[in-house]
Amino acid sequence: MQETAEAALAARLSPYLRDPGLLHLALAHRSWCAEHPGEESNERLEFLGDAVLGVVVTEHLYRALSARAEGDMARIRSGVVSTEALAPVAAALGVGEALLLGRGEESSGGRAKASLLADALEALIGAAYLASGAAAAEAMVGDLLGDLVLAETARRELGDAKNRLQELAARLSLPTPAYETTGRGPDHARSFRSVVTVGEHLGEGEGRSKKLAERLAAEALLVRLAAPGRGAAGPPRA
């Protein structure tokens, strides 16, 4: 099963990472290495990938947010590169199934642990950088994290969109936001669509995790409710 998952991951990342040795290394958790003397863990690649990811996201924010202060950009970057943000992306990519884990880590549910997933994703970015260069690593980050970066940079003000929508609905004496979120696609390439309604007003969002889809839906509805005349409730519900 692990070998099949690793092959599927290799195919998905082939535009950026075509070195099977580096791919294998990026998936090697230290618990597996402890049971296979002489094998190196993915920790050094993770260290490199963390730095590459930070540079790619920082450069994007610098170019895209010319009017934002340094503190705002730092907070947005922190949201993009956090374990909480990276883990669902790694899970949707199929990283969990492809991880090389020791027996103890395997039995304790290591394939679903957010920290292991995020670390491995950073290691894969580091592997792409070593195998194919900075341009490939940047393209990989854009492919895997593009919607997440857009969601963070599209915020008109900092703070959680769902909380802000709830506060705005209360100020406007509107009903509490209600979310309906559905997933589709295979486990290794799952996507989610969320529809949020506040009375007759509607917002929609899609992303690689349920949380991201709901956040994007909330952002979309925030824009509608803040628009002049705010009568545009969005497309009619079926």
Catalytic positions: 50, 122
The secondary structure of residue 28, as a DSSP letter, is B
Q: Report the distance separating Cα 137 and Cα 47, nearest Å.
A: 14
Report CA 99 to chain centroid distance, whole Å: 18
Whether the CB-CB separation of 98 and 12 falls below 8 Å is answered with no
Give SS3 for 194. Answer: strand
CB-based contacts of 88: which residues, under 8 Å, 6+ apart?
Answer: 208, 209, 211, 212
Dihedrals φ, ψ of 183, to 5°? Answer: -110, 155
Instruction: Using alpha carbons, select from 121, 125, 124, 88 the residue that is nearest to residue 208.
Output: 88
Name 196's bridge partners.
179, 203
Q: What are phi and psi of 128, to 5 degrees?
A: -65, -40
Inter-residue contact 189 to 220 (CB < 8 Å): no
